Structure 1
Amino acid sequence: RIRHSLAVKQLQYPFQQRMLRRYRKIMILSAFVIIILLVIIVAWVRGEYSYWAALTAVAVIGIVGVSAAEIRYLMQLSREAQDMGDLVDQISAVREGDMEAPLYLPEDSDLHDAVTNLNEIQGGMKEAIKEQLQSERMKVELIANVSHDIKTPLTSIISYVELLKEEEGLPDHVKDYISILESKSQRLKTMVQDVFEVSKAASGELPVKLETIDFAKLLRQTMADMEEEIHSSCVTVRAQIPEEEEFIRADGQRLYRVFQNLIQNALKYSLDGSRVYIALKREDGMLTASVTNTSADELDGSIDYTARFTRGDSSRTDGGSGLGLSIARSFTEACGGTFRIAIIADLFTAYVTFKAVSPEE
């Protein structure tokens, strides 16, 4: 009862003090035994043999007491080591995203309070993740509903613009107005669709159909479909794509959109007269496609250009929405690839990487 009472009393001290107090007890007992042994040695040197038996008995009692205390402390240390190991494993599990299994230790454990705090943090993170997922679902639903509500009148606007274009005898300034209406309405239609798709991709709800595709062929096809845009631009495009087949697992339609956005971004924002390089390389079982261009505007390396609605220059009036690179990253990651950007001075490079597979896969 006394030992249990003392053990409970020890729990009121911080963890570090409890450890120090136990070390202190061992040191005091060890010092007591050393003093007794010194007394025995002094008595033996002086020839006081009459005290030998008594001193030997005291020494044996002291040694046994210290040994018992050390054994008791080693048992506590073993238990504390086990508790520490369980706590470290639990921290690793939480770091890996396991929010379901809390850790429980006895109330008399020195780490009981730390484990309780960790369990509360784990529960809080679980609730936060749950609320975040619910918020993302609501956001996607809201964007889907708003997009649908916008599409209906927007489709009518586009249809009426087409009808106006067919009218004969309209003044030139009216034709200019109709042309502006057509351009702006098509831009709005594209922006609404982009916002909808990037939101679904960010929430993990973007439908993706994975299949084995030829990465090199997809790049060549994208460039061929954009040949008119490339020729009408003020830059020269250089392709470094191998002739042999290079297979990956991805959604061809989504990946086509990725490189369409990257090439359009390079054509639109490159320095006039510069060159754009499109390359595909294999290294360590990975296939990496890159699009490199020299920016006409100075680049800020601290900006995350893949964030939604992020633009290199806020004063631009070229009609860009700031979603091109965000869509490229979201679609790449949805297909299981990695997307990254490297900026060296005014040199801008986007990398899209996938694991190479065999045609059978």
Structure 2
Amino acid sequence: MKKQRVKLTAAEKSELFAEGVVTIVLLLLLNLSIIILFHLAILQDKNLVNGLIFIKESLMFTGSHTWSWQRILMIAMMIADLLVLYWRLIRRYHQMQLRHVISELHYIANGHYDHRINFAVKPDLQKVIDSINLLVDSTVNSINEERAIEKSKDELITNVSHDIRTPLTSIIGYLGLLKSGMASPDDQQKYINIAYNKAEQMRSLANDLFDYSTLKSTSTKLTLSDLHIYSMMEQVAAGFELEAAKQGIHFEVEARPKELTFKADAEKLVRVYNNLIGNALKYGKGATTIKLVANSVNKREVELRVENNGEKIPQDSLKKIFDRFYRVETSRNLKTGGTGLGLAISKNVVEMHHGTIKCESDDNWTSFIIRLPLKQPDAEKPA
């Protein structure tokens, strides 16, 4: 933003003009006093008169007097007067600038945090203004972060309450039927199974909440080891083969090179794969294939991809898909059994590994793409 000079009000311009007039009058009186004193000193001191005559004769060109001591004195006093006048006017102008800056500060302090001081002033005051603007920016950012945290807490409480209340209501209802003795023997087993499944959903939510809060903690450290990614992907895929087969989905596992190895926390990275594959099985409607791919990139990074050829994710949802409790489905029912925390947990794990994760989706493939460094120099190794 281009800085502007301080615009003086009519009253300030009048004040500046009056300052100049008063200064000129005082300087004229001072000059008159000096001239009178010089005249008195010259009349009383013969040696000073002779010295002035000598100087006067030395400043002769072509036989004529070009300078007189009076003229030299007048010019010297005029230069001094101009310097004093400039100094007093610029000093008063800087005082007016400071008043404008203080006025702007009061305006910001009254709650106008979107306002900034946009003056071009002297260097020392400019540094102060720039520091003030930075301080206001920092304060506004802190306020916005605090509001976002409060909003996030409210959303967390609301979402957790909803996700706990729904299965809990079912559990209480079916247990109530069992307690009343009104259910037939066949229905009793059915109700017990439903109550058990709902309890499992609640446990899943509790586990996800615990994992999410643990990963967000700054005290959580990685337990690093050399990870052979192809072997790990095969083991993870094997754990989902039965569930995938029921949905007519098969796995394709590939690593380039096949012996690709890098430093990572194997347990946490397996959790990421479990979340991403589970997400594909629950929400990848119409999918027939899930690909697990690992590629070495520029000998510095590894790219991990979990892809499925199911239904495309809407573009608007891609921007929010890693937000906690966000679900692509519009309703907050638990038909799919998801808590909405799996992808948020995956993002936290990836960021702990100093990596990035993103999601791309088109009519052919939905791809979760992870970039991790081959080495983890800043992470702590286990003792």
Work out whether the TM-score is over 0.5: yes
2:374 equivalent to 1:356:
yes
Q: Which residue of 2 aligns with 1:311?
A: 327
Distance 2:285 2:264 in 1: 32
2:318 equivalent to 1:291:
no
- 2:360 aligns with one of 315, 326, 342: 342
2:257/2:295 contact within 8 Å kept: no
2:348 equivalent to 1:265:
no
Distance 2:369 2:313 in 1: 20
Q: Equivalent residue of 1:241, what SS?
A: strand
Distance 1:110 1:207 in 2: 46
Displacement of 1:311 after TM fit? 1.1
Q: Equivalent residue of 1:245, what SS?
A: coil
Q: Call closer, same or farther: CA 1:126–1:212 in 2, change over 3 Å.
A: farther
Matched residue type, 2:280: A
Distance 1:197 1:293 in 2: 26
Distance 2:129 2:86 in 1: 24
Displacement of 1:184 after TM fit? 0.8
Q: What is the 5 A alignment of 1:206-355?
A: 206-242=220-256, 244-272=258-286, 274-285=288-299, 286-296=301-311, 299-303=314-318, 304-315=320-331, 317-345=335-363, 347-355=365-373
Displacement of 1:357 after TM fit? 4.5
Distance 1:107 1:256 in 2: 60
- What value does the CA root-mean-square deviation take over the aligned residues? 4.0
1:72-109 per-position Cα deviation (integer Å, ceiling 9, x unaligned) = xxxxxxxxxxxxxxxxxxxxxxxxxxxxxxxxxx9873
1:300-332 per-position Cα deviation (integer Å, ceiling 9, x unaligned) = 345411111111112372222222211111111
Distance 1:346 1:5 in 2: 76
- 2:132 aligns with one of 117, 121, 137: 117
Q: Call closer, same or farther: CA 1:173–1:249 in 2, change over 3 Å.
A: same
Q: Which residue of 2 aligns with 1:172?
A: 186
Q: Call closer, same or farther: CA 1:242–1:221 in 2, change over 3 Å.
A: farther
Question: Unaligned regions of 5+ residues in structure 1, if any?
Answer: 16-105, 165-169
- 1:194 aligns with one of 202, 208, 212: 208
Displacement of 1:194 after TM fit? 0.5
Question: Unaligned regions of 5+ residues in structure 2, if any?
Answer: 1-83, 99-120, 179-183, 377-383
1:222/1:259 contact within 8 Å kept: yes
Q: Call closer, same or farther: CA 1:130–1:268 in 2, change over 3 Å.
A: closer
Q: Which residue of 1 aligns with 2:88?
A: 5
Matched residue type, 1:197: D
2:287/2:308 contact within 8 Å kept: no
Matched residue type, 1:339: I
Displacement of 1:197 after TM fit? 1.7
Distance 2:224 2:144 in 1: 28
Q: Equivalent residue of 2:371, what SS?
A: strand
Q: What is the 5 A alignment of 1:152-167?
A: none
Q: Equivalent residue of 2:308, what SS?
A: strand
Q: Equivalent residue of 2:343, what SS?
A: helix
Moved more, 185-194 or 2-11: 2-11
Q: Call closer, same or farther: CA 1:215–1:298 in 2, change over 3 Å.
A: closer
1:309/1:323 contact within 8 Å kept: yes
Q: Call closer, same or farther: CA 1:173–1:277 in 2, change over 3 Å.
A: same
Q: Call closer, same or farther: CA 1:131–1:269 in 2, change over 3 Å.
A: closer
TM value normalised by structure 1: 0.57
1:340/1:350 contact within 8 Å kept: yes
Q: Call closer, same or farther: CA 1:293–1:108 in 2, change over 3 Å.
A: closer
1:141-200 per-position Cα deviation (integer Å, ceiling 9, x unaligned) = x99xx99xx9xxx9xx9xxx9xx9xxxxx8121111111111111111111110222233
1:311/1:322 contact within 8 Å kept: yes
1:247/1:357 contact within 8 Å kept: no
1:248/1:354 contact within 8 Å kept: no
Q: Equivalent residue of 2:340, what SS?
A: coil
Distance 1:2 1:242 in 2: 80
1:270/1:295 contact within 8 Å kept: yes
User: Looking at CA atoms only, which structure, 1 or 2, has the larger radius of gyration?
Assistant: 2
Displacement of 1:242 after TM fit? 4.2
Q: Call closer, same or farther: CA 1:129–1:204 in 2, change over 3 Å.
A: farther
